[in-house]
Chain A
C-alpha cells in the first residue's frame, strides 16, 4: 500500500513539478494585463500581427500602427489627394512628373543615433527599388547635399504622390542588416521597448521626445496588442484593457450598446471582378449581356440593409467616390431587375446559366455576403461554388487566374492606382490579364495628359468599363473603429480611410 501510494504520488508530482518550474522559469517580455490603465498610455488592439515584423520595406497600410510609430515618411499622402511635409520640410514634383525633390528638416536622428540625411533616404529607396522593381526599378538619385535629394523616374509618374509617400525611411546601417524584421531603427514618434514586448502578442513603445512633430502625439507610451479574435478585442475594449480596435458591422450594435465610441470611414469597393472578359475559361463571360445581367440581379440595397445593418453604401462604379475617375452625376447603370436580367441571359443564349468558383480567404469581411450572392445569381441559373484558400499558397492561387471571378474588396489611394491594379492587363487584380485596345489607348493618353485632361480621360475609362460591365460593383463597406472612454478620434486622417492613424488619437 505504502509503495503504491508513494509511486502514485511520484507520478502526480512530475507534472506538478513541471508546472511549478514553468511558473518560475518563464521569462521574456511583459504582458501587461491591465491595458492602458492610465491616460498617458494608448493601448490599441490589432486583429493581426505586424505583417512584416519591423521590416521597413513594403509594409501594408492596414493596421500599420507599429511601423507608423517607429518610422517616418519623407512626405505623407493626405486623404483626398495631395501631400504634406513629414521628414521633408519642403518638396517639389517636376512639371513632367518624372522627378521629386525633397529638402529634409534639420536635427533629426534615427533611434541608433545616426542622422536622418539624404544618404539614408536614398538607401531607403534603394531597398524599395529591389523589392518593388515594377514601381521603383528604374529610379535614379541626385544628392547635391546632405539635406536634399531628387528621385527621378525615366517615365512620367501619374502616381508620383503615392510612390513617394508610401516608403518609410530608416538608417543606412539598419537597412544593410540581414534581419530587418527583428527590430526597427527609425525616426518616428515612438521607439520600441523590446524588453516589454512579446512578438506576436504585445508591442510596447515609448514616446520619442525628439520627433519633429512630438507635440501631436499626446501619449507617453503606446501598446499594440494582437487580439486576433473580434470577441476578444471587444471584451478587452469593454473592460478597459485596450483603448481602441477595429470592429465589423456585425459587432456595431454590441459596441454601441456597450457605450463605446464608434467612428467610421467608407472606402473600398466590394465587387465581383469579371476578369475573363474574352470568355476564355468561362465562355458566357465573354458576352456583355451576361455581364450586364449579373449586374442587374443583385439587390445591393437589400444586402446593405440586411447584412451590413446599413453600415455600407451600394455602388455602381468600379472607382471610389471622390476619386478622379468617379462620375458624380452617373445614374444607376444597371438597376435591380431580375426579369430583365433573365431576358438578357436568354437573348445571349445562356438561359441555362454556368458555373464559376469564388475563392475565399480567412479574415475577409465580405464573405458574409457570399450566400446572398450565390442565391441571387442562382436566379439566372448561375452556380457559384466556393473554395477556401489558406496557407502559403493562398495568394499565389488567388492571383493565378484559376479563379477568373474573384469577389473581393479593393480600393487604393487614387483612381489611377485602382485602374492600374484592377483594370490594366498587368494589374494583379485583373487575374486573367486580358488586354483591351480601348483601355490601352486611354491609359497611354492618361500617362501624358495634363491634370484636367487626366480627370476627363479617367472618367472616360470608367464609363467604358461600366458599359462593358467588367465588374459587378456591390457595395462600399464602412470601416468601423471603436474606442473607449477617454480617447477621442475626431477625424480619420489615413489617406486610405481604413482606420485612425496614431496622430488621430487624442
Chain B
C-alpha cells in the first residue's frame, strides 16, 4: 500500500513539473511582450525595457522558473503585474469559491447518479430508458446554457435567487447557500448525466459477472447481492468516473462563474489570461494542477482502499 502511495505521489510530481515548465515557458518566453502588456499602447521602447527590469523579465527563463518554483514551496507566487495583489492572496480568496461549487456538485452528483445508475441497471425497462434519456439530454446541454436559463427563470423572472455574486459562508450560511444554488444546479445537469451513465454501465457489468449468479444460487438476498457485492465491484470504475467528473467540473465552473459573476479561479484565469497578467495565470494554472492531482490521487487511493486488486497496479 505504501509503495502504491509513493508511486502515485512520484507520478503526480512528474506531471506537476512537466505542466508547470511548459506553461511557464509559454507565458514568460516573450519578456518584452509581457512588459508592454502591463504598460499599454502608448509605451515607448525605453519604458518597456525599464519595466522588464522591474519585473525581473530580463533574467534567463530557467532562473525565472526556478525562482517561481521556489515560491511555490515558500508560499510566495509573486504579485499581479497589473494590480499588485499577491497571487497567493488572490488564490486564497478564489480557490474556496470554485471548490465549494465543484465539491457541492460532486457530492450531490454521487448521491443522485448512484441511485439513478443502480436503478437503471438493476430494474431496466422504462426506468432505464428514462435515466438514459435524461443522461443524453444532460450531457448534450452545456452548463452555461443551463446557467443562463436558470438565471432568467429563478432570478430575473421570479426573484428567488440572486442573479450574480457570491456570499462567503463566514458572513451568512444561508446567503452562501442561495448564492451557489443556481450555479451548482447548472453544473449538476451535466455531471449527473455523466455519473449516472458511468454507474449504470459499471453496475450492468458487475451484474453480468459469474460471481453474482453464484451468490444468488447460494440464496443471498437481492439487497445483499447488490449492496454488498455488485456496488463494491462497480465502485472502482465509479470512483474514477467521479474523479474525472470533478476535474471536468473545473472547466464547466469557468463558464458558470462568468455567467453568475462568481469570483472563482475560472473567472480569475479568464480575466488574467485576457489581460496578459502572467503571474496570476500561473497561479490559476498551479491551483488547477494541484486540484487535479489531488483528486486523481484521492480517487486512486480510495479505489485501492476499496479494491485490493487495484493496489497491485
Does the CB pair B100–A23 fall under 8 Å?
yes
For residue B222, give the distance in angstroms from its CB to the closest CB of chain A.
Answer: 14
- Interface residues of B toward A: which range? 35 or more
A393–B30 Cα gap in the complex (Å)?
Answer: 7
Given contacts A238-B163, A391-B273, A53 and B306 within 8 Å (CB-CB): no
Does the CB pair A395–B224 fall under 8 Å?
no
For residue B312, give the distance in angstroms from its CB to the closest CB of chain A.
Answer: 18
Q: A1 on the interface (CB 8 Å rule)?
A: yes
Residue in A11, A241, A421 whose beta carbon sits within 8 Å of that of B165 in the complex: A241
**Interface-side segment among B62-70, B84-92, B135-143:** B84-92
Chain A residue at minimal CB-CB distance from B176? A23
Does the CB pair B164–A14 fall under 8 Å?
no
Residues of A contacting B258 in the complex (Cβ-Cβ under 8 angstroms): 228-229, 232
Q: A280 on the interface (CB 8 Å rule)?
A: no
Q: B37 on the interface (CB 8 Å rule)?
A: yes
Residues of B contacting A444 in the complex (Cβ-Cβ under 8 angstroms): none
Residues of A contacting B84 in the complex (Cβ-Cβ under 8 angstroms): 53-55, 179-182
Chain A residue at minimal CB-CB distance from B96? A26
For residue B277, give the distance in angstroms from its CB to the closest CB of chain A.
Answer: 8
- Tell me if A's interface is mostly helix, strand, loop or mixed: loop
A151–B52 Cα gap in the complex (Å)?
Answer: 29
Residues of A contacting B148 in the complex (Cβ-Cβ under 8 angstroms): 231
Chain B residue at minimal CB-CB distance from A10? B305
For residue A168, give the distance in angstroms from its CB to the closest CB of chain B.
Answer: 15
For residue A247, give the distance in angstroms from its CB to the closest CB of chain B.
Answer: 15
Does the CB pair A12–B110 fall under 8 Å?
yes
A131–B51 Cα gap in the complex (Å)?
Answer: 9
For residue B37, give the distance in angstroms from its CB to the closest CB of chain A.
Answer: 5
For residue A22, give the distance in angstroms from its CB to the closest CB of chain B.
Answer: 5
For residue A7, give the distance in angstroms from its CB to the closest CB of chain B.
Answer: 6
Does the CB pair A31–B83 fall under 8 Å?
no
For residue A307, give the distance in angstroms from its CB to the closest CB of chain B.
Answer: 23
**Interface-side segment among B101-109, B186-194, B195-203:** B101-109
Residues of A contacting B79 in the complex (Cβ-Cβ under 8 angstroms): 179, 181-182
Q: B121 on the interface (CB 8 Å rule)?
A: no
Q: A428 on the interface (CB 8 Å rule)?
A: yes
A393–B168 Cα gap in the complex (Å)?
Answer: 36
A395–B278 Cα gap in the complex (Å)?
Answer: 14
Q: A50 on the interface (CB 8 Å rule)?
A: yes
Does the CB pair B107–A19 fall under 8 Å?
yes
Instruction: For chain B, residues 216 to 257, give those with C-beta under 8 angstroms from any C-beta of chain A.
Output: 224, 227-228, 232, 235, 239
Q: B288 on the interface (CB 8 Å rule)?
A: no
Does the CB pair B103–A22 fall under 8 Å?
yes
Does the CB pair B106–A53 fall under 8 Å?
no
Q: Give a binary string over A252-275; 1 marks a CB under 8 Å from any B CB, 0 the rest.
A: 000000000000000000000000
**Interface-side segment among B6-14, B39-47, B123-131, B207-215:** B39-47
Does the CB pair A28–B261 fall under 8 Å?
no
**Interface-side segment among A78-86, A193-201, A320-328:** A193-201
A19–B34 Cα gap in the complex (Å)?
Answer: 37
Does the CB pair A1–B224 fall under 8 Å?
yes
Q: A251 on the interface (CB 8 Å rule)?
A: no
Interface CB pairs A-B, < 8 A, 14:
A15-B103, A15-B107, A23-B173, A31-B168, A32-B165, A33-B175, A51-B40, A51-B82, A181-B82, A228-B271, A232-B259, A235-B152, A235-B163, A391-B37
Interface residues of B (CB under 8 A from A): 27, 30, 32-34, 36-42, 44, 46-47, 50, 79-80, 82-85, 89-90, 92-94, 96-97, 99-100, 103-104, 106-107, 110, 148, 151-152, 155-156, 159, 162-171, 173, 175-176, 178-179, 224, 227-228, 232, 235, 239, 258-261, 263, 267-268, 270-271, 273-276, 278, 298, 302, 305-306
